[in-house]
Amino acid sequence: MKRKATEIRVDFSFKREVFFVVIGAMLGGISMLIPTAFEVGMGLPYYVTWLAFGHVVGIYTSDAAFAGIAIHTITAISIGVVIGVFLYKTGILNISKLSNGFIYGLFAGSVVLIVFFIPVYLLILHPEINRILSNTISETYDEYGTTLYQYSFPLVITSYIIMHLVFGIIVGVTSSILSIKFGSRYRCTKCDISFSRIDSYQKHVELIHGEKPIQLTRILILGGGFAGIEVLRQLQKAFQNEIRIDITLVSRDNFFLFTPMLPEISSGMIETRHIVTPLRAFCNRAKFYETQIESINLESKEVVITHSIGKQTNPMEWRSHILKYDYLVLALGSETNFFGLSEAAKQAFTLKSLGDAIVLRNHVINMLEQADIEHEDPDLRKRLLTFVVVGGGFSGVEIVGELNDFILDSIKYFYHNLQKSYARIILVNSGGRILPEVTEDLADFALQEIRKNGIEVLLNTRVIEVNPDNVKLDQGTIIKTQTVVWAGGGKPQTILSALSCEHDKSGRIMVNNYLQVAGYADSIMALGDCACVIDPNTGKPYPPTAQHALRQGKVAAINLISTIKGQESHKEPFDYKTKGVMTLIGKRNGVGIILGHKIHGFTAWWFWRSYYLVNLPTVEKKLRVLVDWIIDLFFKRDVTRLKTPTEEIDFKPNTSDRSLIS
């Protein structure tokens, strides 16, 4: 049976919605305390109510008023939650409209006043209030019998009515605003997009799925990295309830990967799932497709995507689809640059994806396991325990530092047939110094610390050949090894290099200072690692780092929104001054430049962790990574090797080559 386009699916967390009501009730409860200060000056004894509340529960000390306030607040919150749960469960009133939230507030305040406060007040609080006042005033006192002209029963009741209505309105309006911004989502099952307000959803159904559908403005974002996700966030925020805007995100993976922490995944310090976030968690107002991009036609404004049907290892068939767009955002990142060494692409490990980190970690543990068995064969053991990292930039230095710590710690605690001196970790760098991104003195400090940790650093040395069991250097040296990690830089994906637009010498797409592609300024933007963005202050391209990608994403979104809305004067040029650069060089050690100040050692390590922890996409991921780091301080590294299906092969020993293990 075909699903109707008007069918509503409400996507929200009930606990989160109730939490919104709790926040509103807390604010409402606080608002009821405000009139007390004014009533004291008018001779009204409302402040005595707090004392009465305290006395009712048996507190007669000087803290009675505070106890009364606490009881009053807790009661207000509880009642607000009960009413909120009732409304959400029954669906009587949908507060995703602010007007409905206002009505809900009036209803909640009236119920609290009539059902709870008036009976409790007349039967319990009123007698206690009179008793308190009688003890403090020389003559017999009755709350409603006072001769004070400004204090009478109608005035008291009126003040209570106003207080409870204010309480209710604050509860309703606060809950409504929070629900619209963070809460329930009304999803169109045909378009697979969500709206934060029910009226926006209804308008969408009317205009998009009615008899005469309107023309949509289609925005297509290619890439789910730092730049692409930031653009998506800003567009969804701006066009959350704009019916005419259609947003689509395309990525080859269905998750956002926090790449700065990949080296720590390869060493097992952080759990794999803790630095990935499902892209669908970001896509409330946007559609998402996990697929490969087959081609991009800038002239016809079409992108062809393709994906497999059936098992990934043995697909039944491949399907292609055409996505049309009005505005295109290219944020496809980069791929590893092997500089023409085709064999290196086959034999070397890389660290660009989550799969790379998992495979590298499994391989390193496998080498340790094999070396532990073959510890009596020095030549074989040496080859197994030799690890070569190519590239002395940020990536290479962080990888070699993590590998060195992981390998040496594992040998110390788990592989008792091996010694730390058996392991050989080598960093090969083509330049005269490592870390060209920082100043020379910081690079020298990093070099000394790395070498102090036992890592061999070969400067002014190039890898000219990578074979299955060795690496050949330009000086003629051959290093026998089973492990080569390539961190020698990146390049734009091939599909981007083939586009009919201007590129720099490395293949990155040239853009203007508004991040628009030359010749397609009105419809195409490029950012992140795949774009060449010139720094107007230095005349050089901005480095391909996460902080630049994030800032480019914000500026690109601002300019795209301005173009769509016809507000050309609101566009912003990209002029970003780097906040700093940081890298880790080993356990609790690092170097960096923050706001022009040089830091190194433990301080740099602490700043690195703090910065990236703050920039993790969700609170959940922040907490999980923080727990991983704390655990690492007190426990040994985990050397569990979880084999992938391709590693689960039949073991068939050669019976002619056996040795006795004593």
Q: What is the DSSP string of 89-148?
A: HH-S--TTSHHHHHHHHHHHHHHIIIIIIHHHIIIIIHHHHHHHHHHHSSS---TTT---
Query: Does some domain include residue 270?
Result: no
Query: Does some domain include residue 192?
Result: no
- pLDDT for position 132: 75
Same domain, 352 and 328: no
- pLDDT for position 41: 45
Query: Does some domain include residue 267?
Result: no
CA distance 570 to 29: 42
Query: Does some domain include residue 283?
Result: no
Same domain, 353 and 321: no
- pLDDT for position 148: 40
Task: Name, in order, each residue with C-beta under 8 angstroms of 108's C-beta and a sequence gap of 6 or more.
Answer: 79, 80, 83, 84, 167, 168, 171, 172
Same domain, 367 and 510: no
CA distance 302 to 295: 8
Structural tokens at position 105: 């507030």
- Cβ–Cβ < 8 Å for 187, 293: no
Q: In the listed set 161, 182, 203, which residue is the last one of a domain according to the structure? A: 182
Same domain, 315 and 383: no
- The pLDDT tens digits of the residues spanning 312-338 come to 778 888 999 999 999 999 999 888 889
Structure pTM?
0.78
Quick one: DSSP state of residue 662? Answer: -
- pLDDT for position 151: 44
- pLDDT for position 339: 86
Same domain, 466 and 602: yes
Same domain, 477 and 598: yes
- pLDDT for position 14: 63
Same domain, 556 and 593: no
Task: Name, in order, each residue with C-beta under 8 angstroms of 301's C-beta and a sequence gap of 6 or more.
Answer: 324, 325, 326, 328, 523
CATH number reported for the structural domain that contains residue 314 in this entry: 3.50.50.60
Q: In the listed set 539, 563, 578, which residue is the last one of a domain according to the structure? A: 578
- pLDDT for position 408: 95
Number of domains in the chain: 3
Query: Does some domain include residue 653?
Result: no
Same domain, 484 and 614: yes
CATH number reported for the structural domain that contains residue 604 in this entry: 3.50.50.100
Same domain, 461 and 535: no
Query: Does some domain include residue 660?
Result: no
pLDDT < 50 stretches in the chain: 1-6, 40-44, 139-141, 143-151, 650-651, 655-656, 662
CA distance 360 to 485: 8
- pLDDT for position 646: 60
- pLDDT for position 158: 76
Query: Does some domain include residue 268?
Result: no
Query: Does some domain include residue 258?
Result: no
Same domain, 391 and 462: yes
Domain hosting 402: range is 342-488+581-645
- Cβ–Cβ < 8 Å for 548, 542: yes
Helix (H) or strand (E) holding 278: strand 276-278
Task: Name, in order, each residue with C-beta under 8 angstroms of 544's C-beta and a sequence gap of 6 or more.
Answer: 334, 490, 528, 529
Same domain, 434 and 567: no
Same domain, 641 and 535: no
